[in-house]
């Protein structure tokens, strides 16, 4: 049994937040693209705004991977 269950639980929660954040960021950017006036502003939203929003939304997933890695290292060290 692992002593790092809390880290793994928070990693799971952070992953869920990241996935829902990515979905909502994509939906929000598409709605934003419909709301702007002009072809070039729409292209700007889709080519700049959408990737930036999705990138920022992936930060909780990166945090979850770091938490899982810390838990794995802790399990490995405590097993020795």
Indicate the average pLDDT of the chain.
Answer: 93
Classify residue 17: in a domain, yes or no.
no
Residue 4 dihedral angles phi and psi, to the nearest 5°? -115, 35
- pTM of the prediction? 0.83
As for how many domains the chain has, the answer is 1
Closest by CA position to 42, among listed 24, 50, 54: 50
State the pLDDT at residue 48: 94
Residue 72 has pLDDT above 80, yes or no: yes
Question: What percentage of the chain carries pLDDT values higher than 90?
Answer: 86
Residue 46 tokens, joined: 């889709």
CB neighbour list of residue 15: distance below 8 Å, 6 or more residues apart: 60, 61, 64
Classify residue 52: in a domain, yes or no.
yes
Classify residue 80: in a domain, yes or no.
no
Give the alpha-carbon dihedral of 7, 3, 71, 60, to 10 degrees.
Answer: -10
Classify residue 68: in a domain, yes or no.
yes
**Residues 25-41: what's their mean pLDDT?**
94
Classify residue 10: in a domain, yes or no.
no
Residue 63 tokens, joined: 């945090």
State the pLDDT at residue 79: 73
Residue 1 has pLDDT above 70, yes or no: no
Q: How far apart are CA 30 and CA 54, in angstroms?
A: 12
Classify residue 56: in a domain, yes or no.
yes
Classify residue 11: in a domain, yes or no.
no
Classify residue 2: in a domain, yes or no.
no
State the pLDDT at residue 68: 95
């Amino acid at each position: 049994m692992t002593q790092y269950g809390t880290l793994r639980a928070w990693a799971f929660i952070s992953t869920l937040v990241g996935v829902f954040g990515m979905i909502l960021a994509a939906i929000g950017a598409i709605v934003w693209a419909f709301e702007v006036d002009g072809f070039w502003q729409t292209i700007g939203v889709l080519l700049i705004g959408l990737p930036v929003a999705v990138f920022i939304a992936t930060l909780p997933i990166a945090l979850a991977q770091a938490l899982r890695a810390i838990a794995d290292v802790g399990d490995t060290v405590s097993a020795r």
